[in-house]
Structure 1
């Protein structure tokens, strides 16, 4: 089951379906009022926000404080492992019960061009780009974001943080995947800004 969830998350992050690019909250391709955007934010080698992932490259579980981890629900302690596709180290907080509790993953990526990563998911079934606390964030899912979502944000042109969720069946009515990954991303942005 764990391998399946990891494979689906990696697949959704790295491959795409047809979709619509929107601003604001993530939407599915079939939503009304979605409009394609032609603007592409630019980034530079230096972090415009002053955020740095240096101390988290090998300690991705530390991107969230212990009181913030409790907001994830009933999860097991974070486990560090290598992320798929050479994206760096990840920390996974697995739900205690896969039916009742969602699983969260945070990936800290160094030296991978953020804009290229975004280009790779623009055609996903769900794609949304916006700002949270003046930081560019991209939320995406390869299908319809009813179970999974990935939200990533740059700390520089080549460094970034990605938050993923596999929403448990019992939490799907209350935890909308992209809303939840954006909430966790905002916690990490706050921590990185100090």
Structure 2
């Protein structure tokens, strides 16, 4: 499985990750820098939450795999044992499909580099698929450098100015499935599960 080089740290790195991944390969999404700058956007969402009343994800940096429960991942597909790894963005956990040619691979990254959600949202603009939305009332942005089919990255923040941020990524090769046709919708769905666990 090929590792993704996520965003954060610098705005250049942020752009790479949130641009999504264009290569339809088996394993982790691989960032692409040659994106066509025609964006698809939804109206910007304003969160009424604040870092104090929102969520705290940084406490999971040592164990990002605990951000999703076993029954939740079972509802998403059939995966190998989750694997922790380091990334420029922070600690990452990856659930790799048992069969990468037919299944789905998800990653969740705890952002610990110091960038705020607003920094991330701004740095990801200008890609082909870019939409601002909310996940359980929290500000979110989903993006991909190609079509949003097979790959997408969703970033969620406790508030626009908060550094409490996490990312969800998807990679799938199986065309015709909901997760392939609307990969950003799939990452937003998983992001909602993460928020549910953070609030619980």
Tell me if the contact between 1:146 and 1:172 (Cα under 8 Å) persists in the aligned partners. no
Q: Which residue of 2 aligns with 1:177?
A: 183
Q: Which residue of 1 aligns with 2:168?
A: 163
1:11 and 2:47 aligned: no
The Cα shift of 1:119 comes to 1.4
2:129 corresponds to which of 123, 126, 135? 126
Aligned pairs for 1:53-92 (under 5 A) are 53-83=57-87, 86-92=88-94
Q: 1:42 to 1:155 in 2, by over 3 A?
A: closer
Mapped partners of 2:187, 2:129: distance in 1: 13
Mapped partners of 2:155, 2:82: distance in 1: 19
Q: Which residue of 2 aligns with 1:142?
A: 145
- The more displaced of 106-115 and 183-192 is 106-115
Mapped partners of 2:91, 2:121: distance in 1: 19
The Cα shift of 1:131 comes to 1.5
Mapped partners of 2:167, 2:108: distance in 1: 6
> Which 4+ residue blocks in structure 1 deviate beyond 2 angstroms?
5-10, 14-17, 39-44, 171-174
Q: 1:133 to 1:11 in 2, by over 3 A?
A: same
Q: Which residue of 1 aligns with 2:39?
A: 20
Q: Which residue of 2 aligns with 1:108?
A: 110
Structure 2, unmatched stretches of 5+, are 6-20, 22-28
Deviation string, structure 1 residues 6-43 (Cα, Å, up to 9, x no partner): 3643525x7743122521xxxxxxxxxxxxx5x57489
Please provide the CA RMSD for this pair.
Answer: 2.4
TM-score by length of 2: 0.77
TM-score by length of 1: 0.79
Structure 1, unmatched stretches of 5+, are 24-36
